[in-house]
Amino acid sequence: MYTLRDVTKRYTRGKATVHALDGVDLTIEDGGRLVIQGPTGGGKSTLLQMLGGLDRPTSGSVELDGVDLAKLSEAKLTKVRAENIGFVFQSFNLIPTLTAQENVETALVPLGGGAAERRRRAAEALDSVGLGERLGHLPSEMSGGQQQRVAIARALVKRPKVLLADEPTGNLDESMRDEVMEVLETMWKEHGLTFVMVTHDSAIARRAPRLATIRKGKVTITENAAA
């Protein structure tokens, strides 16, 4: 479970100070799903970075299961991230010279274990996103939607508690967008993940049961029971 208390993030640009997050209080239950929307520069990616421990707040606390990520040493934060948090970004960030299976295996390397076990788990993760027949394909041999599904498999192969996605459909056309959203929603349901996603897509935001709108660093939560 996430508990954010009075989180601020300020950046200094020359003489100006940007309040990317301004007193954010937020709770996300285990297994919950939150969609984050808002205007450009509103603070969406900054909020996701705080949740993922990719950056630290200027003040306030970001607790994941009672542990304040803001206070962990860099080494402990890296361990928490590797074990608990999967990331998916707009750009798929696959290594072009590695096959789908090898790309997914890279997520398991920091966790130790043997090569055969890594190969088996990567194949299983790719199968779960519908790419069991494409283990040996290079990214260049796959569509954008398929590449993003490889990235999702890579995020989930370590069986994280949390999946954080920053505009995962931003680089995709409509049919691939639906394909990727369907995979993400299936993974969320089947794996009991806590799933937080940033989107610019108003159709996706409209369908969200819980929506965080972030403007000028301030968050407003809307619950949509009908979604």
Ligand X SMILES: Nc1ncnc2c1ncn2[C@@H]1O[C@H](COP(=O)(O)OP(=O)(O)OP(=O)(O)O)[C@@H](O)[C@H]1O
Q: Of 12-20, 56-64, 75-83, 139-147, which segment contacts ligand X by CB under 6 A? A: 12-20
* Interface with ligand X, residue 18, by CB under 6 A: yes
For position 125 contacting ligand X by CB under 6 A, the verdict is no
| Choices 26-34, 39-47, 91-99, 133-141; region in contact with ligand X by CB under 6 A | 39-47
∠ CA 34-65-22, rounded to 5°: 55
Q: Which residues have a Cβ under 8 Å from the Cβ of 142 and sit 6 or more positions away?
A: 100, 134, 150
The overall longest dimension of the chain from CA atoms, in Å, is: 55
Is 15 near ligand X (CB under 6 A)?
A: no
Judged by CB under 6 A, the stretch of 27-35, 44-52, 134-142, 175-183 that binds ligand X is 44-52
Closest distance of CB 38 from ligand X, Å:
5
Question: Site residues for ligand X, window 186-205 (CB under 6 A)?
Answer: none
The rounded distance, in Å, linking the Cα atoms of 201 and 215 is 16
Nearest CB to ligand X, comparing residues 24 and 183: 24
Q: In Å, what is the CA distance from 143 to each residue of 27, 99, 146, 149, 197?
A: 36, 14, 5, 10, 22
Position among 17, 27, 30, 41 found at the interface with ligand X (CB under 6 A)? 41
Please give the Cα distance from 149 to 85 (Å, whole number).
17
Is 20 a binding residue for ligand X by CB under 6 A? The answer is yes
Which residues does 101 contact at the CB level (< 8 Å), separation at least 6? 119, 122, 123, 126, 135, 136
Asked whether 60 and 8 are in contact (CB, 8 A), the reply is yes
40 binds ligand X per the rule CB under 6 A: yes
Count other C-beta atoms under 10 Å from residue 201's C-beta: 17
Closest CA to 1 of 45, 46, 51, 58: 51
Q: How far is the CB of 179 from ligand X (least distance, A)?
A: 23
Phi, psi of 129 (to 5 degrees): -100, 15
Of positions 7, 24, 35, 42, contacts ligand X by CB under 6 A: 42
User: Residue count at the site for ligand X (CB under 6 A)?
Assistant: 12
14 or 112: CB nearest ligand X: 14
Q: Does 11 bind ligand X (CB under 6 A)?
A: yes
Q: Is there binding between residue 44 and ligand X (CB under 6 A)?
A: yes
Nearer to ligand X, 42 or 139 (CB): 42
Start-to-end Cα distance in the chain? 22
Contact footprint for ligand X (CB under 6 A): 11, 13, 18, 20, 38, 40-46
